[in-house]
Amino acid sequence: MAALDLIHCKPIGRRVFGLILAVVIVSACAEVPITGRSGLHLVPNAELATMSLEQYRAVLGKSQLSTDARQVAMVRLVGTRIAQAAEALLKETGARDAIANYHWEFNLIQDDKTVNAWVMPGGKAAVYTGILPYTRNETGLAVVLGHEVAHALAGHGNERLSQGLLTQLGGTALSVALQSQPQLTQTLFMEAFGVGTSVGFLLPYSRLHESEADRIGLTLMARAGYDPREAIPFWQRMQAQEQSRPPEFLSTHPAPETRIRDIQSYMAEALPYYQKSNR
């Protein structure tokens, strides 16, 4: 029985139910790499992987993929290097088995008006051409993909989706929710993984996740051989864009001044990996 199916069991005493739910929640917690924070992951990875692949194919089917060979090659090169750094981190942190959950794929969507990028569970990623004027080069793109891969590595989408199932659907299991309210469930999924443009109902959690993804992402790009110090000018360029029209990529992110200050504090943690990779 899935953890959230407890909601549909026969009536039991509130105190007993509370104890059972507490045990389920504690057992469903997972540790975020590098930061060590515990996150609530109520959705089985197998279910997430299946839905991710379906949604990813649906998004690509409705989108126009870029035919710019140079830009496509850059996205896939940077993505592959970041993915390799992510798998190396998983090995070092004792999570080698988790690597089997990732089947990396990086695609560039032709949409100059959308300043966004995202990575679904299992490593299915999309970059929109609208963000390339801000990334400018491989290193700038590594800032973005390091950040987005960090979300996947930390299970932020699972955590947000778990919260969404609890608050919006009364704790219904994902498989049940898909059958009973497929449209709402798909909307929750897309928002949880940054595919939608809505800020959504989990803004405080999202800001925490964004800060974690910044920290983990800096380490990933540094391990992949990209200078993490380039994250600061990238976010400064994004800050200038935010002053006129906040792009989707910034919809739930911390205030620019806070982000840049935090990134500077994480730099000492990431830089040694970059220096080691360039010896």
- Report whether 94 contacts 112 (CB < 8 A): no
Q: Distance between CA 185 and CA 176 in Å, rounded?
A: 10
Q: Distance between CA 223 and CA 84 in Å, rounded?
A: 9
Catalytic residue among 105, 148, 159, 248: 148
- Cross-strand partners of 160: none
159 is catalytic: no
Residue written as token pair 């200050």? 261
Secondary structure in 3-state letters for 180-231: HCHHHHHHHHHHHCCCCCCCCCCHHHHHHHHHHHHHHHHHHHHHCCCCHHHH
Q: Distance between CA 28 and CA 36 in Å, rounded?
A: 15
Q: Distance between CA 192 and CA 197 in Å, rounded?
A: 11
Cite the active site residues.
Answer: 148
